[in-house]
Amino acid sequence: MDSSVAQSSPNLGRLGEENVKLKYRLNILRRSLQAERTRPTKNMVTINSRLQEVFGCAFKAAYPDLENPPLRVTPSQQPKFGDYQCNSEQKVNPRETAEYITKHLPDNECAEKVEIAGPGFINVHLRKDFVSQQLTNLLGNGVQLPPLGENKKVVADFSSPNIAKEMHVGHLRSTIIGESVGRLYEFAGYDVLRLNHVGDWGPQFGMLIAHLQDKFPDYPAVSPPIGDLQAFHKESKRRFDTEEEFKKRAYQCVVRLQSKNPDITKAWKLLCDVSRQEFNKIYDALDISLIERGESFSQDRMPAIVKEFEDKGFGQVDDGRKTVFVPGCSVPLTTVKSDGGYTDDTSDLAALKQRLFEEEADLIIYVVDSGQSVHFQTIFGAAQMIGWDDPKVTRVFHAGFGVVLGEDKKKLKTRSGETVRLIDLLEEGLKRSMDKLKEKERDKVLTAEELKAAQTSVAYGCIKYAHLSHNRLNGCIFSFDQRLDDRGNTAAYLLYAFTRIRSIARLANIDEEMLQKAAQETKIILDHEKERKLGRCILRFPETLQKILDDLLLHTLCDYIYELATTFTESYDSRYCVEKDRQTGHVLQVHMWRVLLCEAVAAVMAKAFDIPGIKPAQRM
Ligand code: ARG
């Protein structure tokens, strides 16, 4: 700076010096941040987030005044557009913006070459060394995500069937999506509380208890053999509708249940036990873990909830009912009915408050059919209105889903026209999967034990996959014929593909120890376009999951697994992995890094199967 200027304006001089110091500090900070990011980590790198950071820095340097750089990094659809594309969403002069950003790109470990294409896309080519290093890391350390969920808690409300009623396919879809959501968040390091908000309270228990008293009068002493709870429910409903005396007694039972009369409470518990045993058959078969915390859990909290809304001036009385209007919601909540009873609205409000304040959840997810979205919108709106929930702090999310239909696009029915019982659905899955295995004569090569493992793996895998692989926002058609097909995007195809990949090393006599050693010593070269494509696809796993953590659209995981399997096949078919003598079958040459690439695919696939809880069999 010109000394005469500094003298004439001492302030300017001082500010100039300060500015130099600050710039110096900023550079140090930037460098250590960069060092921190490129420090080798055991976790897989989420490449699109990393590129987003790199381009974010470039954007900041190019346009220091803009707060949040309007940038989007997505995987490229075609190889000619590089591996990723960065698109500035700045509307003016996109081409110029792209050039300016590119000029300011900082040194980084992942992008090798960038080119500007079309009206302002930036095509990014990943460094070959970076890709191969990432794959080596994956083989050595396993498939691990960055610790996104450290010290964060998720409450997932799913399954939630109703006591003394049949658990139906809607509950099954909720169970399968909810379980996958739980596993996904656990994998990302969150603490997950899985809650089964069963319908275990309400006036219907009056008639059930009254009927129990008549049919099994010694129930307090001897556990009643209620074989068929559905029939029991129907019978008590019929009596409730036709017998005046019975109806009166049913009402009394409700009152006595609410006042915690021990005998009546015992009857209620017995009924819940019978239902629970039925539900557990499904949960055990599908390996679902859930804590039962139904509507009854909130009973004692409900009077205070109603009072809180009244005290804060949100309560209204309408035709003897207590209601709460929520701005923007067309239907008010009913917190107390005209007969003094509480409703689903009251128990959901109480449960939500408990999850926010006692569980201290950072994220609360309800996996419930989309038919109930108005209910949840209103409940969530009420929680914000009364000041329990600040959406900036806690995310409360209804992950709705469409109905499950049969092949005729109508309600899922059995051949004789009745609604399908879930336990029968699982049975049929098992039977059909065994038929299929026998048709392929697998019973001739597999041991009885292996055959059974393959049967359950395919049957339950297909049922889970069927409910997940359609966008949850749409309905889904359930057809065993389609689902057990081992072609196309089905669990059957993927499970077969997986066992095949797993067998490549084994058939070349390469054991686990040799693989581990090779993983450390062998560089993964990727010298063919198909292999590069496969390498990139493998490394897209973390970003695929990260997106699902946000939108809970699990079908994108299914699409990813399918893409991985088909990309693998393309690459495997075009390049030798293991060369064998055609006549003798002797191994002539092993291309070790290609075998390692197969192993990387298998490792990612295994992890991807683990999220929906699909369990591959050793042999199929
Ligand atoms: N039991 C309800 C039903 O069968 C689902 C409950 C969902 N969870 C909740 N917190 N409301 O439709």
Distance spanning both ends of the chain, measured CA to CA: 78
Q: Do domains 44-126 and 458-610 have the same CATH topology?
A: no
Which tokens hold the place of 608?
Answer: 């991807």
Q: Where are the domains of the chain?
A: 1-39, 44-126, 168-199+294-398, 204-288, 458-610
Residue 582 phi, psi (nearest 5): -60, -35
What are residue 298's phi and psi, to 5 degrees? -90, 0
Candidate of 198, 204, 349, 372 to mutate for ligand 1, largest count of ligand atoms within 8 Å of Cβ: 372
Mutation test of ligand 1: which of 197, 198, 376, 403 has the most ligand atoms closer than 8 Å to its C-beta? 197
pLDDT of residue 1: 45
DSSP label at residue 479: -
Q: Which residues are 321's β-sheet partners?
A: 318
Q: Which atom number of ligand 1 is nearest to the Cα of residue 372?
A: 12
Question: Which residue, judged by its Cα, is nearest atom 6 of ligand 1?
Answer: 160
| For the CA of 375, the nearest atom of ligand 1 | 11
Q: Which two tokens stand for residue 93?
A: 């002069």
User: 529 alpha carbon to ligand 1 midpoint, in Å?
Assistant: 50
8 Å CB contact between 545 and 145: yes
Q: How many helices and strands in the chain, by DSSP H and E?
A: 22, 16
Residues having CB closer than 6 A to ligand 1 are 157, 160-162, 197, 199, 348, 366, 368
CB atoms near residue 203 (< 10 Å): 15
Q: Match 């750089």 to its residue by tokens.
A: 69
Only one residue has tokens 């350390």, namely: 141
Q: How far is CA 324 from the centre of its chain?
A: 33
CA 278 to ligand 1 center in whole angstroms: 18
Distance CA 540, CA 132 (A): 14
Distance of CA 517 to the CA centre of its chain: 34
Amino acid 37: pLDDT: 61
Domain 458-610 has CATH 3.40.50.300: no
Q: Which residue has the tokens 């009913």?
A: 334
Say what the pLDDT of residue 302 is: 96
CA–centroid distance, 298 to ligand 1, in Å, is 14
- CATH code for the structural domain at 168-199+294-398: 3.40.50.620
Element (H, E) at 8: helix 3-8
3-state secondary structure of 94: helix
> Residue 34's pLDDT is what?
66
Model-level pTM? Answer: 0.91
The fold adopted by the segment(s) 44-126 is Gyrase A; domain 2 (3.30.1360)
Helix axes 491-507, 448-468, angle to 10 degrees: 130
CA of 292 to the centre of ligand 1 (A): 12
Q: What is the pLDDT of residues 296-354, one digit of tens each?
A: 999 999 999 999 999 999 999 999 999 999 999 999 999 999 989 999 999 999 999 99
Q: How far apart are CA 24 and CA 330, in angstroms?
A: 58
Q: Which residue among 368, 404, 422 is best mutated to probe the pocket of ligand 1, counting the most ligand atoms within 8 A of its Cβ?
A: 368
Task: Give the per-residue pLDDT at 14.
Answer: 87
Cα–ligand 1 centroid distance for 538 (angstroms)? 38
The protein residue whose alpha carbon is closest to atom 5 in ligand 1 is 160
The closest alpha carbon to 503, from 368, 620, 382, 367, belongs to 620
Helical pair 512-521 and 592-610, crossing angle rounded to 10 deg: 110
Q: Is residue 397 within a helix (H) or strand (E), and if so which, with residue range?
A: strand 395-398
- Measured in angstroms, how far is the CA atom of residue 197 from the centroid of ligand 1? 6
Question: Looking at residue 397, what is its pLDDT?
Answer: 98
- Closest ligand 1 atom number to CA of residue 171: 4
Burial 478-493 (b: 16+ CB within 10 A, else e): bebeebbebeebbbbb
Tell how far the Cα of 274 is from the centroid of ligand 1, in angstroms. Answer: 19
What's residue 6's pLDDT? Answer: 47
372 Cα: distance to centroid of ligand 1 (angstroms): 9
Q: Which residue, judged by its Cα, is nearest atom 9 of ligand 1?
A: 197
Which tens digit of pLDDT belongs to each residue from 211-230? Answer: 999 999 999 888 888 888 88
pLDDT of residue 189: 96
Name residues of the chain where pLDDT drops below 50: 1-2, 5-6
Give the Cβ contact number of residue 423 at 10 Å.
14
